[in-house]
Copies of this chain bind each other. A is one copy, B any other.
């Protein structure tokens, strides 16, 4: 599946060349930077959920129409490229997957060439445009996938919802970090739209729409996708504070240093305000500051003792159970149920 998705993406980039080359080497280089970014890796999670959703709704991989479906599913990786490239500007991230982020890459090229002007601003400017290109090309890839008119018509509203929701979720996230809405409800809403809808719910829904699934299966997929998607982000929130750097690839406690407004933190603050104001004060004063390893350890203890970890673990269990029940009760094929159950467990399992 991963190889097939990457092949589709690679073919798509080859197909863009006649549009790109007339503009000359600068644009060829930029398109290559996007291609490298997209093909460099990632788990192809969204195409996998979309494809499995299609199979589970009766899609037959031997059907001639399967080819177009796989291409349309693969295009999700171009939406994701835009989201990551623009997010990295917004979060001022310097590296991704062991490479400089796109804006840092172009900042470094600018500096290396001794060009005029602000190198960082130049890098961000180029990365804005390369992200835009990824978003436009995602659309092109779905339009050129070879879906028939009826499939296109079923696909379009789900595709529209997915992109609007992820952009809205990112806006809420920025707003939450700047404006400091500390409520659990606000953190859950960001989680739902920025992660759950975008990563699992809507990709499954896209697959189901392409297979012309009935409303009942779509509803079951969406329930499963929302629940497992939220649980997946809650697990990620726990890993961001308690995870082993060797596994997460991020410095221990990084989410605390970044001041991320996760459900875990919102839960700890709420509990602190009710039962231990000094703990809440300490948390508020430390979040988003450059704390050292001892301070990270101290905050972990505070968050745990406030009961926030247990509360988040309970949410994960409840959501996972509810999602898996919706899946089990659905009319999805047995093979897809088994596959989706495995994917859900991988996304939500305790790993630290």
Contacts and interface: CB of A to CB of B under 8 A. Distances in A.
Interface string A151-174: 010001000110111011111101
- Could you say which of A82, A161, A168 has the most chain B C-beta atoms within 10 Å of its C-beta? A168
A24 interface: yes
Contact of A136 (B126, B137, B160): B160
A175 B116 contact: no
A259 B299 CA distance: 51
Counting every copy of the chain, the complex holds 2
A160 B137 CA distance: 8
Contact residues of A: prevailing secondary structure: helix
Contacts of A122: 174, 178
A190 B169 CA distance: 35
Interface string A261-286: 00000000000000000000000000
A115 B20 CA distance: 42
Contact of A26 (B89, B90, B110, B172): B172
A164 B136 contact: yes
A291 interface: no
A167 B129 contact: yes
B136 A168 contact: no
Contact of A23 (B27, B149, B193): B193
A143 interface: yes
A86 interface: yes
A204 to B, nearest CB: 18
A27 B164 CA distance: 10
B164 A86 contact: no
A115 B261 CA distance: 15
A167 B133 contact: yes
B30 A164 contact: no
Contacts of A168: 20, 23, 27, 30
A251 B8 CA distance: 50
Nearest to A114: B179
A288 B116 contact: yes
Contacts of A42: none
A117 interface: yes
Contacts of A130: 171
A225 interface: no
Interface in A98-151: 110, 113, 115-117, 121-122, 124-126, 128-133, 135-137, 139-140, 143-144, 149
A19 interface: yes
Contacts of A143: 152, 156, 160
Given A26-B172, A86-B129, 19 more contacts: A19-B160, A23-B189, A23-B193, A30-B168, A90-B125, A116-B178, A116-B180, A117-B177, A125-B174, A126-B174, A128-B128, A130-B171, A131-B132, A132-B135, A135-B135, A139-B160, A140-B164, A144-B160, A149-B152
21 contacts: A16-B164, A20-B168, A23-B168, A23-B169, A23-B189, A23-B193, A26-B171, A26-B175, A30-B168, A86-B129, A86-B132, A90-B125, A110-B178, A115-B179, A116-B180, A122-B174, A135-B136, A136-B160, A136-B164, A136-B167, A149-B152
Interface of A: 16, 19-20, 23-24, 26-27, 30, 82, 86, 89-90, 92, 110, 113, 115-117, 121-122, 124-126, 128-133, 135-137, 139-140, 143-144, 149, 152, 156, 160-161, 163-165, 167-172, 174-175, 177-180, 189, 193, 288
